[in-house]
């Protein structure tokens, strides 16, 4: 390989670091429950939620933070959050049932996403707020309410296709949400169905990292609310959706160096960093770099609650350049947010056992096979490049210095594409069969979003862990309740 190891070390919070510094305990868990194994830390999500609430507090804003449940199916995380005053955003019938069963009262639940009739019915019957995606959905809901004589349902209108004042049209197209230019027609409908639905707010969810784009959307929502009020409707919430992001990496320099070297590798000015010269979206066309890097910006200090803060302080050109938070406060609007990934920051890790380490005869990275499938550790699927941590089974003999190793990580399916990483991963020590690799910070989307039973391989178990009297305790995820009886706190 040559050259310095290109590390991408994960950023580790206090709890996650402490868990990972308990190798004997982690091996005990994986021996008992199998590999792969997801470990979730429910208490961490409370800290993350408090971070969002303090951003609200700093801007004197009221409202609600709804956890986007789809990012992790954990019962423990949901139940822990139910014990706070957070809300939850559910995107399917099953998620709604689980939220209700975990202790969320209906006024803390928002139903979003594509909805089948059963989901819509339970949402309406259970009096949760329904995020309306399109006029067709509004119609469907109103008919349902009338047909089954249900109480009037609170709705929140999801909008899309915002334009920046006068200038550039937003390029990002969304399959979801009603275009703002159709607002008048939808409001007509809402007035027509006034017996069945009650408009409580408007919002958006944009899958982008761009604060400017989101600020344009938020400003568009403020203008939409003005239009509502001019017609005598009284919605008072603005929902800024999710997408606040996570800062995955510990070191900015490592990230910058890695992406620079990746560009070099694609252009052929340095040896490849990936299997088959995969460029993560970049390609070399006759010596010119083409394509776009399809990677998550893994080092991003302004993520989570800090990103929300940045959005709220952004100026609104069509309101005299005043900060968005000031405008929300002036009208006493409620701010809603639906973070998924950001609330799950530092909330878990995925363990996978090393089954085999092969030394290729032609040199190159060691071929390391794990007792896990690529779908069980979906970091690559989400474009997150981050090194796992070697959790050795046996402590190295003292005085035996660890040698760095370059490895390629494979899953356990007999499928060429079952690659845990397409890239060569540099580890500070050579993994041995029986060791565990711990993939840090996998709770957001990387645990169960893509889980399959392919080849009859086991679906990873999930355990919840918490600290009690200085030591770590655990139970199966589904056994966790946030009370002290039976172990959990
Ligand atoms: C997925 C989703 C979210 C959460 O997005 P994150 O990027 O995980 O914060 C919020 N709202 C809606 C409508 C979603 O579909």
Residue 124 CA: distances (Å) to CA of 64, 70, 89: 20, 20, 15
Residue 206 CA: distances (Å) to CA of 229, 241, 292, 299, 434: 25, 7, 19, 20, 43
- Compute the distance from residue 24 Cα to the ligand 1 centre, in Å: 36
Residue 161: both structure tokens together: 């296709």
Regarding the beta carbon of 68 and ligand 1, being less than 6 Å apart is answered yes
Please choose, from the candidates 74, 192, 177, the residue with its C-alpha nearest in 3D space to the C-alpha of residue 477: 74
Name the residue ranges covered by the structural domains of the chain.
Answer: 14-41+346-488, 42-245+299-337, 252-291
Q: What is the pLDDT of residue 457?
A: 76
Q: Identical fold at 14-41+346-488 and 42-245+299-337?
A: no
Regarding the beta carbon of 70 and ligand 1, being less than 6 Å apart is answered yes
Regarding the beta carbon of 206 and ligand 1, being less than 6 Å apart is answered no
- Compute the distance from residue 340 Cα to the ligand 1 centre, in Å: 6
Residue 225: both structure tokens together: 């609310």
Regarding the beta carbon of 203 and ligand 1, being less than 6 Å apart is answered no
Q: What is the pLDDT of residue 48?
A: 98
- By most ligand atoms within 8 Å of CB, the mutation choice from 132, 340, 443, 449 for ligand 1 is 340
* Closest residue by CA, ligand 1 atom 15: 113
Q: What is the pLDDT of residue 401?
A: 76
Ligand 1 atom with minimal separation from the 71 CA: 8
- Compute the distance from residue 243 Cα to the ligand 1 centre, in Å: 6
User: In whole angstroms, what is the distance from residue 405 CA to residue 403 CA?
Assistant: 6
Q: What is the pLDDT of residue 216?
A: 96
* Closest residue by CA, ligand 1 atom 5: 242
- Compute the distance from residue 373 Cα to the ligand 1 centre, in Å: 25
- By most ligand atoms within 8 Å of CB, the mutation choice from 214, 338, 378 for ligand 1 is 338
Ligand 1 atom with minimal separation from the 112 CA: 13
Regarding the beta carbon of 338 and ligand 1, being less than 6 Å apart is answered yes
Please choose, from the candidates 244, 348, 386, the residue with its C-alpha nearest in 3D space to the C-alpha of residue 301: 244
Regarding the beta carbon of 89 and ligand 1, being less than 6 Å apart is answered yes
Regarding the beta carbon of 243 and ligand 1, being less than 6 Å apart is answered yes
Q: How many whole angstroms from its chain centre is CA 273?
A: 27
Q: What is the pLDDT of residue 485?
A: 53
Regarding the beta carbon of 342 and ligand 1, being less than 6 Å apart is answered yes
Regarding the beta carbon of 35 and ligand 1, being less than 6 Å apart is answered no
- Compute the distance from residue 207 Cα to the ligand 1 centre, in Å: 8
User: In whole angstroms, what is the distance from residue 180 CA to residue 462 CA?
Assistant: 42
- Compute the distance from residue 370 Cα to the ligand 1 centre, in Å: 31
User: In whole angstroms, what is the distance from residue 170 CA to residue 324 CA?
Assistant: 19
- Compute the distance from residue 379 Cα to the ligand 1 centre, in Å: 17
Residues of the chain with pLDDT under 50: 1, 486-488
Indicate the CATH number of 14-41+346-488 among 3.90.550.10, 3.30.70.100, 2.40.37.10, 1.10.3720.10: 2.40.37.10
- Compute the distance from residue 381 Cα to the ligand 1 centre, in Å: 17
For domain 42-245+299-337, give the CATH number. Answer: 3.20.20.10
Ligand 1 atom with minimal separation from the 339 CA: 9
* Closest residue by CA, ligand 1 atom 10: 242
Regarding the beta carbon of 239 and ligand 1, being less than 6 Å apart is answered no
Residue 369 CA: distances (Å) to CA of 29, 52, 109, 213, 417: 20, 40, 42, 42, 13
Neighbour tally for 32: CB within 10 Å: 11
DSSP state of 467: E
- Compute the distance from residue 107 Cα to the ligand 1 centre, in Å: 19
- Across 129-219, the runs of DSSP E, i.e. the strands, are 129-132, 153-160, 178-179, 197-203
Regarding the beta carbon of 235 and ligand 1, being less than 6 Å apart is answered no
Q: What is the pLDDT of residue 170?
A: 55
- Compute the distance from residue 206 Cα to the ligand 1 centre, in Å: 8
* Closest residue by CA, ligand 1 atom 8: 340
- Compute the distance from residue 90 Cα to the ligand 1 centre, in Å: 10
User: In whole angstroms, what is the distance from residue 407 CA to residue 435 CA?
Assistant: 14
Regarding the beta carbon of 71 and ligand 1, being less than 6 Å apart is answered yes
Regarding the beta carbon of 339 and ligand 1, being less than 6 Å apart is answered yes
Regarding the beta carbon of 341 and ligand 1, being less than 6 Å apart is answered yes
- Compute the distance from residue 241 Cα to the ligand 1 centre, in Å: 6
Buried b (16+ CB within 10 A) or exposed e, 357-384: beeeeeeebbebbbbbbbbbbbbbeeeb
């Amino acid at each position: 390989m040559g050259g310095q190891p290109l590390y991408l070390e994960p950023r580790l919070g206090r709890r996650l670091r402490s868990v990972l510094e308990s190798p004997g305990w982690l091996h005990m868990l994986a021996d008992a429950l199998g590999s792969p194994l997801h470990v979730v830390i429910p208490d961490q999500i409370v800290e993350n939620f408090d971070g969002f609430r303090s951003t609200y507090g700093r801007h004197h804003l009221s409202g609600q933070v709804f956890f986007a449940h789809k990012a992790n199916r954990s019962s423990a995380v949901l139940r822990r959050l139910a014990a706070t005053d957070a809300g939850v955003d559910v995107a399917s019938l099953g998620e709604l049932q689980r939220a209700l069963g975990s202790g969320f009262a209906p006024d803390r639940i928002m139903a979003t996403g594509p909805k089948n009739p059963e989901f819509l019915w339970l949402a309406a019957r259970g009096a949760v707020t329904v995020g309306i995606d399109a006029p067709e959905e509004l119609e469907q809901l109103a008919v349902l309410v009338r047909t089954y004589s249900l109480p009037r349902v609170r709705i929140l209108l999801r909008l899309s296709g915002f334009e920046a004042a006068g200038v550039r049209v937003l390029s990002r197209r969304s399959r979801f949400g009603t275009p703002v230019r159709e607002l008048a027609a939808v409001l007509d409908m809402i007035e027509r169905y006034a017996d069945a639905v009650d408009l409580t707010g408007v919002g958006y969810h944009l899958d982008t990292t761009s604060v400017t784009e989101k600020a344009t959307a938020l400003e568009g929502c403020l203008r939409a609310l003005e239009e509502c009020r001019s017609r005598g409707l009284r919605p008072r919430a603005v929902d800024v959706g999710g997408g606040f992001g996570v800062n995955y990496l510990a070191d900015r320099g490592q990230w910058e160096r890695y992406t620079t070297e990746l560009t070099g590798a694609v252009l052929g000015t340095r040896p490849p960093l990936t299997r088959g010269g995969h460029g993560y979206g970049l390609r070399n066309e006759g010596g010119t770099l083409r394509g776009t890097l399809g990677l998550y910006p893994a080092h991003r200090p302004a993520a989570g609650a800090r990103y929300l803060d940045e959005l709220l302080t952004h100026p609104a050109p069509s309101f005299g350049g005043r900060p968005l938070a000031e405008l929300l406060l002036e009208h006493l609007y409620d701010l809603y947010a639906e973070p998924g990934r950001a609330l799950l920051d530092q909330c878990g890790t995925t363990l996978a056992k090393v089954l085999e380490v092969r030394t290729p005869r032609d040199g190159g990275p060691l071929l390391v096979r794990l007792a896990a499938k690529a779908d069980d550790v979906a970091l690559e699927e989400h474009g997150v490049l981050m090194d796992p941590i070697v959790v050795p089974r046996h402590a190295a003999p003292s005085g035996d210095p660890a040698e760095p190793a370059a490895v390629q990580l494979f899953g356990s399916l007999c499928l060429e594409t079952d690659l845990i990483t397409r890239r060569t991963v540099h580890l500070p020590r050579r993994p041995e069969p029986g060791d565990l690799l711990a993939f840090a910070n996998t709770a957001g989307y990387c645990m169960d979003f893509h889980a399959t039973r392919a080849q009859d391989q086991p679906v990873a178990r999930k355990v919840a862990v918490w600290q009690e009297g200085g030591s770590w305790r655990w139970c199966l995820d589904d056994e966790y309740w946030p009370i002290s009886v039976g172990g959990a706190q």
